[in-house]
A and B are shown apart, each in its own frame.
Chain A
Amino acid sequence: MDDFQSGEETAFVVDEVTNIIKEAVEGSIGGNAYQHNKVNQWTSSVVEQCLNQLTKLSKPFKYIVTCVIMQKNGAGLHTASSCYWDNQTDGSCTVRWENKTMYCIVSVFGLAI
């Protein structure tokens, strides 16, 4: 998604959000192998951490965070999303992370209030 920096603090900055997501994912599942009994905790923790960091930015935004963790078993996956919003101020960001046993896809949508 495009980010236009119209107004100093009231636009969706993709790079910043990407970093937040990467840190949240690394912190929660970096270095772990897929374990079905723990995935529950991991997805919750990723989403919560992302959201906490995003709210700390104190920007006038509504955030939607989704996290998908898929075990590497040979299955294929395809997802798509689109939005109808104000392209100047709203934006989204998706981070795909993987290790040897699983994929993790986190999407953050930010809608200006």
Chain B
Amino acid sequence: MADRKAELERKKARLEQMRRERKEKELSKTRNVGDDSKTSVKSSGSDASGAEPDDILREFGISPAPEGSPATPKKAAAQSQAVKEVEVPTSVSHTTPRKVRLSVAKVNETSIPPRENVSYSKETQTIIADPVDKDARGPWDYYVLVYDDANKSDDDNDLDFIENLEGSSSHAHQFRGHGHSHGHGHTHKMPHVEMVAPATTSEEQNKEHKKPVPELSEEEKKQILMSEGFQKFFDHSSRIVERALAEEVDIFADYSGKDSGGKDDEAMAGERLKVNRDFYDDKWSKHRIITSLDWSAQHPELLLSSYGSNEDATNVPDGVALIWNIKYKKDTPEYVFHCQSPVMSSCFAKFHPNLVLGGTYSGQIVLWDNRVNKRTPVQRTPLSASAHTHPVYCITVVGTQNAHNLISVSNDGKLCSWSLDMLSQPQDSMELQHKQSKSVAATCSSFLSGDANNFIVGSEECLVYSASRHGSKAGINEAYDAHQGPITAIDTHRVPGQIDFSPYFLSSSFDWTVKLWSIKEQKYLCSFEDNSDYVSDVQWSPTNPALFSSVDIMGRLDLWHLNHETEVPTASVVVDTNVALNKLRWHQTGHHIGVGDDMGRIYIYDVAENIANPKADEWSKFVRTLQEMKQQATEREEDSTLLGSAAPIR
């Protein structure tokens, strides 16, 4: 009973509390009517029914759609305290019903295709090694098991022992003696393998000391001169002496002049591209058009150049490849290679510093080696239908140190991949065809940066194609149509950096233009039309993402810096009015450009450091430049479609 009473009393107290709170709330509402706090307003507003606010507001002559919150509370406060209800919460406006017609909208889809994991197998056939020629080498390749005794015998005793004995057993002991003298802790009892030295007795050793110098007859002299050892020695020493003689040390080097010149962009405009030197060999490069240039990866001072045929001379080889050196002042090539058919493309084998590859007019691919003293190729691919039968214009080594292939594309659209160990047959071959089995007449190709599978090809039919070697989409994928002349060169972007520009590539063509494309887009981004003749080559700078260079057949070398100017080249120089420039190649440092003409001369140009070196914001600026180009491209597209639809005036 007492509990019940306590409970009842508690309940009563609670009820009274609640009543008091309600009263307080109501009082505070009337007091706080003038505040702007919406929370108290809303809570009170929620108590009221929907009709009352409208009625109250109509009293004040306010339309059912109030404008803003500050006005209404003040008015309500001004009127009277009888108004317990407050303004309508302002977030929702009128409640007049609107006619809504609902319908199903189009389905909005997003699709990201899966990446295809391309896998392929590679096999190589090892060449059976020749049996060991016992006569040619010394008897050093016999091995003998030697057992160590637990007791180390005296060295002196061993030596005495040797002098008395002859034959193979003595060597073992001799070596064991040596072994003991060298190895101090040599007390293991297991046999170990040692080399066997030829038997030398004391008499023979004496003889070797006293060899008289015999007189050589003419015959013997000639023989020595013809011998391989002498040839090697002579070649090596004459090379070194030639370099030493040609060297001139320039004592007037002015470091202060260079520093001041670098800061002033405008004044040094003429200095942006400067001829450093030129390479020309009267015997080997005269009247030959330079068909390709390549810098060595392992020795950055070596430049490989390949030449076409010399129409004037008759009994000289048709194809020549020379290796020049820019480190030394001598003006003869380091190495001379030649072959029977004009070399249309060449490259250093990227992972083999001694091998040079050339693709010829006959479709044959030749391999030269600078370790042997031969000027003719050491390996050739067969001239058969399984390899190439048309000129090989594109030759590249792709892959990594341990898994690389030589890829060659010939003018009939055939792509072969070879292993450098075995050039007798291609590992894999593919016909590049675009729609309705139309072969691509390839003139140039370039692999995407860091990708051994996807590449782009330029053709004589004025189209650029993107293709892949493996995978479900092997072969030609897309065609980019905008040029009006055969494509002479294409180059993909390969400058590493935080922002990746690898989808962008350049193409140059006979239609006097260079165009910048993205692999993802069908239409080109920008067209560079400053040239007035065939543009023969174009290449991105290897260090600066917004810089590229082009040459045309009027002898002009242009440098385009897209972050500065996209309408005209940033620097332009004419080599010589009478020559046509055919090829250009940037040096890996981005500071030199090698340019080849059609008369057999190579010019090395120095690029001013302030242009060649990218600044820190070069990448982000280039992103913006590309965005502007994209906008212009879409505008151009709209204009052309509008024109196409015969709209008279825009």
Residues of A within 8 A of B116 (CB): 74
Alpha-carbon distance between A1 and B112 when the two chains are bound, in angstroms: 20
| B105 and A83 contact, CB distance less than 8 A | yes
Pair A76/B114 contact, Cβ less than 8 Å: yes
Q: How far is the CA of A87 from the CA of B102 in the complex (A)?
A: 7
Determine whether B109 belongs to the interface, using a CB cutoff of 8 Å to chain A.
yes
Which residues of A lie under 8 Å from residue B106 when comparing CB positions?
Answer: 1, 82
Bound CA span A73–B564, Å: 37
Q: How far does the Cβ of B351 sit from chain A's closest Cβ, in whole Å?
A: 26
* Nearest-neighbor residue (CB-CB) of B500 within chain A: A100
Q: A70-109 vs B: 1/0 string, CB under 8 Å?
A: 1011111111111111111010101010011001010100
B102 near A85 (CB under 8 angstroms)? yes
Report whether B101 and A86 are in contact in the complex, using a CB–CB cutoff of 8 Å.
Answer: yes
Within the complex, the shortest CB–CB distance from A86 to chain B, in Å, comes to: 5
Give chain A nearest CB distance to B539 CB in angstroms. Answer: 23
Interface contact B105-A79, CB-CB below 8 Å: no
Kindly provide the distance from the CB of A41 to the nearest chain B CB, expressed in whole angstroms: 20
**Is B498 part of the contact surface with A, judged by Cβ < 8 Å?**
yes
**B-side interface mostly:** loop
Structural contact, B115 and A74, CB atoms closer than 8 A = yes
* B109 CB contacts on chain A under 8 angstroms: 78-81
Within the complex, which residue of B93, B103, B110 is in contact with A87, where a contact is CB–CB below 8 Å?
B103
Residues of B within 8 A of A73 (CB): 115
User: Least Cβ distance of B97 to chain A in Å?
Assistant: 13
Q: Does any Cβ of A come within 8 Å of B577's Cβ?
A: no
Distance from A3 Cβ to chain B, minimum over Cβ atoms (Å) = 12
Given contacts A74-B114, A76-B113, A100-B500, contact A84 B108 (CB under 8 A): no
Complex contact A83–B112 (CB within 8 A): no
Name A105's contact: one of B100, B102, B110, B113 (CB within 8 Å): B110
Inter-chain contact B111/A92, CB cutoff 8 Å: no
* CB-based contact A86/B100 at 8 Å: yes
Query: How many residues from B make CB contacts under 8 Å with A?
Result: 23
Task: Select which of A31, A79, A92 is within 8 A of B110 by beta carbon.
Answer: A79
A82–B101 alpha-carbon span in the complex (Å): 16
| In contact, A1 and B114 (Cβ under 8 angstroms) | no
CB closest residue in chain B, given A95: B110
User: Which of A77, A84, A85 meets B111, CB within 8 Å?
Assistant: A77
Does B117 sit within 8 A of A, measured CB to CB?
yes
Our count of residue pairs bridging A and B at CB distance below 8 angstroms stands at: 69
Task: Decide: B110 and A96 in contact? CB cutoff 8 A.
Answer: yes
Do B114 and A94 touch (CB < 8 A)?
Answer: no
- Is the CB of B474 closer than 8 A to any CB of chain A? no
Cα A85 to Cα B314 in complex, Å, equals 84
B102 lies within 8 A of A77 (CB): no
| Residue count of chain A within 8 Å CB distance of chain B | 31
Task: Report yes or no: B108 in contact with A94, Cβ–Cβ below 8 A.
Answer: yes
B76-117 contact mask (Cβ, 8 Å, vs A): 1 or 0: 000000000000000011000000111111111111111111
> Is the CB of B643 closer than 8 A to any CB of chain A?
no
Docked-complex contact B105 and A103, CB < 8 angstroms:
no
Cβ contact within 8 Å between A94 and B110: yes
Please, which residue of chain A has its CB at the minimum distance from the CB of B116? A74
B180 to chain A, nearest CB (A): 61
Residues of A within 8 A of B105 (CB): 1, 82-85, 87, 90, 92
Q: Report the separation of the CA atoms of residues A60 and B93 in the bound assembly, to the nearest whole angstrom.
A: 10
Q: Is the pair B108, A75 in contact by a Cβ cutoff of 8 Å?
A: no
- Chain A residues within an 8 Å CB radius of B104: 82-84
Cβ–Cβ < 8 Å partners of B114 in chain A: 74-76
Complex interface: chain B residues within 8 A of A84 (CB):
102-105
The answer to whether B108 touches A107, judged by C-beta atoms less than 8 angstroms apart, is: yes
Is A81 in contact with B107, judged by CB distance below 8 angstroms? yes
- The distance in angstroms between the C-alpha atoms of A90 and B109, with both chains bound, is 18
The residue of chain A having its C-beta at the shortest distance from the C-beta of B110 within the complex is A79
CB distance from A27 to the nearest CB of B (A): 14
Q: Does B499 contact A (CB under 8 A)?
A: yes
What's the minimum C-beta distance from A71 to chain B, rounded to whole angstroms? 11
- A1→B102 contact, CB < 8 A: no
Chain A CB within 10 A, most for which of B93, B108, B111, B116 = B108
Residues of A within 8 A of B113 (CB): 76
Smallest CB–CB gap between B103 and chain A, Å? Answer: 6
Chain B residues closer than 8 Å to A99, beta-carbon distance: 500
Which chain B residues border A31 with CB–CB below 8 Å? 498-499
The answer for the CA separation of A99 and B498 in the assembled complex, in Å, is 11
CA of A96 to CA of B116, assembled, Å? 21
Would you call A103 and B112 a contact (CB within 8 A)?
yes
**Cα distance, A103 to B498, chains bound together (Å):** 17
Q: How far is the CB of B389 from chain A (nearest CB, A)?
A: 39
- Is the CB–CB distance between A81 and B102 below 8 Å? no
Q: Which of chain B's residues have a CB closer than 8 A to the CB of A70?
A: 112
Whether B108 and A76, one on each chain, are in contact in the complex, defined by CB atoms closer than 8 angstroms, is: no
Chain A CB within 10 A, most for which of B92, B106, B499: B106
Chain B residue at smallest Cβ distance from A84: B104
Within the assembled complex, what's the spacing in Å between the Cα atoms of A79 and B107?
A: 10
Q: Is the CB of B112 within 8 A of A80?
A: no
What are 25 residue pairs bridging A and B, where the CB atoms are less than 8 Å apart in the complex?
A1-B105, A31-B499, A74-B114, A74-B117, A75-B115, A76-B111, A76-B112, A76-B113, A76-B114, A77-B110, A77-B111, A78-B110, A79-B109, A79-B111, A80-B109, A80-B110, A81-B109, A82-B104, A82-B107, A86-B100, A86-B101, A86-B102, A90-B105, A96-B110, A100-B500
Q: B residues near A, CB below 8 A? A: 92-93, 100-117, 498-500
Given contacts A31-B499, A92-B108, 20 further A-B contacts (CB under 8 A): A1-B106, A74-B114, A74-B115, A74-B116, A77-B110, A77-B111, A78-B110, A78-B111, A79-B110, A79-B111, A80-B110, A81-B107, A82-B104, A83-B104, A84-B102, A85-B102, A88-B101, A94-B108, A100-B500, A103-B112
Q: Which residues of A contact B (CB under 8 A)?
A: 1, 31, 60, 70, 72-88, 90, 92, 94, 96, 99-100, 103, 105, 107, 113
